[in-house]
Structures are given as structure tokens and as C-alpha cells.
Structure 1
């Protein structure tokens, strides 16, 4: 209530990236304060036995996690855990540090409860971020999202070596790793969503050949056709990928209430939030059906209500991630959705979130 009535109106008077930086500044202070972490836990934390799942040998106390992009540099995992999240994904991190694209590069679409970003993978670099995370003390699973350094000169073998460097760094600290093959916000616009290129990348990461590799997931774009997705899944399944993240931001501008003139003024970038929820649900369902529900899926992209969260779970998601929903609804969204999941379990007379999905 405080967020929507007081904090959000103030933040929304600021440029979107400046508001994000201001909240991060406060969150960094809160992460280092025993008092503020305890206060956040008292206000926002909500756990229940029925929400717990064991996936990839990891215990998730509830299905809601922080999506990559919110805490790119690993500064605030402690306060995000205190706010009730079940897991956290840091990044995207890249082999080399990057300042990203020129500003402005983050924009709100309030009518659509959406964001457009073209941040350009700004981050402190894999080595620095991993070193920072070694000093963080959290008790929930930590994911690290890796991507190719924002540098058009890094193509082919150089791009793969860049990924491998980040992958090896991430393995030092991550409970799971997400390979982001679909970021649209780089100058060269290249991704690894070409089946041959993806095969080369996965061979270099040697996920299939090394049992010691941290559980490694692939994150897909929301703009894939079913045929494109099936081709990529075939490559992934051949490399024994243990799970998937669906999905990344969209380059499309379909069915938005924001005026066309405003969209043109903003320009290119990845669309996130409520408008891409239906795309995410569709991609989740396609992956679930193709893998016969044998591979865990993290659903992301438009989770801003219990209704959307439930749709994603029933489509085949095992876990969910939030980012844009937190911007529009505030940290109370996590507690609200988890409470409603528990209510749903009671109404259906089932004991766990797993049984809820199995019944769909």
C-alpha cells in the first residue's frame, strides 16, 4: 500500500533509469543493515510448506524469484531474500565489463504496465561480480545469467570464448546458470538463436560431457515461432540441458495502448511486462509439451498478478521470476502472489505447488 500510494508516485516523476538507480542505492544500504533486513522480512516475507520445491537438487522455499536485469551486478541479494523471494538471478554478466548503450535507455509505458529497455548489458564484468557475490550471505538459490559481452568485434569463436569465460567464473558461486542466447539490445544485434551457433556454444560449454557442471538453463526470446523454438529445443535436448527460462523481452510492439508517436520517440529496445505475458505463457506451453513436462521451466515475462502467475504454472512453469511487475506493483507483489497460491492449494485440497501443476 505504501509503495503504490507514496513511493511509486515519487519514483515515476523521475527518469526510469534514475528511479531504478535510486531504489538500488537504498537497497544496497538495506542489504548491509541487520535492522532493515529484519524489517523487510517482517513486512514482506511469507513462506508456507506447500510452496517448497526441490529442483536440480536445490530447495526453493517458494516459486517466485528475481529476474535477471534487476540486480545486474550482485549488490542486493540479501535484501531481496528478506523481501520474501524464493531465489535470485544475477546478471546478465559478461566476460568483459561494459557501460552499455547511451542514455536514455530505459522507458516506462504506464498505460501498458510495461518497460522498454536497451540497456546494452551494462555490468561490472564476470570476474568482479563473482568476487563480490562470494562475500554475500544468502540462504536461497543463486542463479547467474551469462551473456556475450556487448562488443561487435566479438563474433564467432571470440564470442564463444567470451561465454566460456563467464561460464567458468559463474560456476565458482552459482547454484544454477542461465545462458542468455537472446538479448536483442546489443549494437551488432547478433544472438545465438541460430541452431548451428547454439550447438557450437553448448559444445564449448561441455554441459553434456561434465557431470560436475552447475545446472545450466537456456533462456529463449519471446518472439520465437514454434518451428524456431522446436529447432533450438532439439539442439538443447541433444546437449542434455536440464531446464529452460521462458522468456526474454520482445522486440515487437503488438497490441499496446501507448500511442504510436510515443513508441517511435522511444525507439528500439526490449519490451517487458504485462503485454508479453501471453507470449511467455505460449512459449512455456510449447516447451512443456515438447519435453513432456520432464524439464523444469522458469516462467518470466509479464508476471504482475496472481492470475498471470497461475496461468504460467498451469502452462508448465515450475518457478517464476519478477522484474517489471515489481516496478509497477512494488515488493508486496511477492507476498500477495504466494498467499494466493496457498489459498488455491487449500481450495483444491492439495498439499503442494507441485501437485497443483501435476493436476493441470
Structure 2
């Protein structure tokens, strides 16, 4: 129904208008027991073979909603109902922000991709966390924190901004993702520098507090292997609990969209199918560098079972989707979960963790 009816209607609107329309309906659905129950019947899929426990949290399936879709924590209940195994809201920032001027989201239908330069628009940490306190979820809730989109907030002020959002997030989050790269702000990758990252993680006191909410670091998809390894060394020294790979890309590789269209769109973060190879590569690098001992959330270009499986085989324990949801609809979650179970049955294994060994042995 999504591809034949809903998607054609949504794609008549510009990308941000369509997102707003979806969001408004999702807010209504989140308040309706009947709509949530209906969504669960249509899209829900459960199997004990998909269960995992990471950071002491129970994940009913590996499919999560990526940060950016629900920036203000307004619709996690309906995402729970449609079958996600976890949701990550945000990015939230210390101060509220309206983001960049519109238009700021663009579809690349030929490439099953998006380019966005939203600019971290959100209601601010205090407001969002207060809203989330009233949410009743049956799945883990992640909160993604970033620096307020303001070029005047740099250095020590930037660190204080992160600490404020981080401390707010701790009040409700099952895990926290620290977003150290955002290509959609004027200052760009402020904390993808080893010295700056070390200072930030010291201020967050991850290493000092064993009771801390599990804290993950989200990397850019544009890092070289050496850049990534240097950042990982800092993270491991601070005993970071896991990683998210990857954020959107500033590059324009692997695109079939006309160059004139891309030039007209201009800057922004590329997401969707074209960045899948980069994301899978970064996941593999992280897994190798950490000897597979740190959980990884793979995100970036997952729009099919094949890509999801490649991400898992590269070392991802959990997966997240956003752009794939725009192009494939909510049925994507059920489809990937079903096919994962089918794959495990064919390999005669009982858990996702056994997939890598079993697939390699074939």
C-alpha cells in the first residue's frame, strides 16, 4: 500500500513538507490506542531468534529508527507499534534551534537518496527530555546529543553545551549517542579531532562513572581509516560503550542524479543507498579495531535485506534506518526481520550473533 498509494502522494510534496505530513499523522497515531494496535497487527513481527541483550538492554529485534526522523521525541510510541526494536530521537542540543533556511531537504529518487542541511533544528534539550518523560515504550530509547547550531558556541562553550544536553538525556535515555560530526552546520566536524574529542569525553566523565547510561559515539562516513583509528583510540581510552556508524556524507560519490541538479541543491549531508558501501566499510573497520568486543549500530543506506545482512556481517549488532523508510515505507522493518529469521533457519542457527561465523563457514 505504501509504494502504490502513500508514496506517490507524499512525493508530490517537497521532501520537508512530506516529512511534516507524516510526522503530524504519526503524532495522531501515537495518541490513539486503536491506531497503534492496527499498526502492530499490520507491521509487527516477533521472533525469539531476533532477541539480543546489549548494555543490559533487551532488543526484541535489531531494527532501529535512526536519529533525525523524530528530532523532538514526539512519535516514539507509533514507531514502537510498527515494529522497531528501538528508537533514537534527536539530535537534541543545549539550546533550541530553527535550523537552516528552507529549502533544506532534497530527494534524489534515481539514487534512493536524500540530501539534507536541516541544521540540527530541535526544541532544545530541556523541552524534549521533559516531553519524553511521559512516553510509555516497550523498546529501548536512545537519545542523540549534538552541539547547538551556533558558530559562537565553540571551545569550552561547546563542551558545556554538550554536557548540558548529555546530563538532560541521562534522565530518560536507555542509551545516549554523542554525535561528533554534523556536516549540516556552518562549523561542521567540530569534535572529529582527537584532542577536542578527548576533552569532550573527559568532560562527559564516561570513564569515571560505571553506572553511567551506555554512551556511544557516532562517526562520519567520510573518515579515512587512519582518522577513524585515531578517534577510536581516544574513545577506547575513555571506555566508550559502543559506536554508531555512520552519519551522512558530504561527498557525492556513486550518484546517477544529474550534476546540474546536484549543483543546484548545493551542500548538505547525503544519506540513503549510495553511502551504504562507506557505512559498511566503517563498521568493518570499527569491528576489526575493537576485536568485535564493542557493540556497533550500523546505519547508512539500509533499504533492503541484502544491505542489512552485509552490515551485520561487517560487524554491526544493531541497525538503523531513515532514508530507507522514506523510499520503502514501514513494511521495510518487518521484511528485513522476517528475512533475517529465514536466513538463520536456513543456516540452522538460533541467534544473530552466530550469523557471521555461520555465513563464513558456508
Query: Please, what TM-score do these two structures have when normalized by structure 2?
Result: 0.98
Matched-pair contact (CA < 8 Å) for 2:60–2:85: yes
Alignment of 1:117-266 (within 5 A): 117-266=116-265
Match of 2:326 in 1: 327
Q: 1:141-176: CA deviations, max 9, x gaps?
A: 000000000000000000000000000000000000
For residues 336 and 180 of structure 1, what CA distance do their matches in structure 2 show? 29
For residues 111 and 19 of structure 2, what CA distance do their matches in structure 1 show? 19
RMSD between superposed Cα atoms in Å: 0.6
SS in 1 for 2:143: strand
Match of 1:285 in 2: 284
Structure 2: 5+ residue runs without aligned partners? none
| Bigger Cα displacement from structure 2, 189-198 vs 233-242 | 189-198
Match of 1:318 in 2: 317
For residues 191 and 245 of structure 2, what CA distance do their matches in structure 1 show? 15
For residues 320 and 140 of structure 2, what CA distance do their matches in structure 1 show? 13
Q: Give the drift of 1:358.
A: 4.4
CA distance 1:190–1:345, change in 2 (3 Å) = closer
- Is 1:116 the counterpart of 2:106? The answer is no
Q: Give the drift of 1:190.
A: 4.1
For residues 182 and 191 of structure 1, what CA distance do their matches in structure 2 show? 7
Match of 1:352 in 2: 351
Q: Give the drift of 1:56.
A: 0.2
Q: Give the drift of 1:242.
A: 1.1
For residues 188 and 302 of structure 1, what CA distance do their matches in structure 2 show? 25
Alignment of 1:27-106 (within 5 A): 27-106=26-105
For residues 190 and 331 of structure 1, what CA distance do their matches in structure 2 show? 31
Q: Give the drift of 1:72.
A: 0.3
SS in 1 for 2:353: helix
Q: Give the drift of 1:354.
A: 1.6
Query: Please, what TM-score do these two structures have when normalized by structure 1?
Result: 0.99
SS in 2 for 1:210: coil
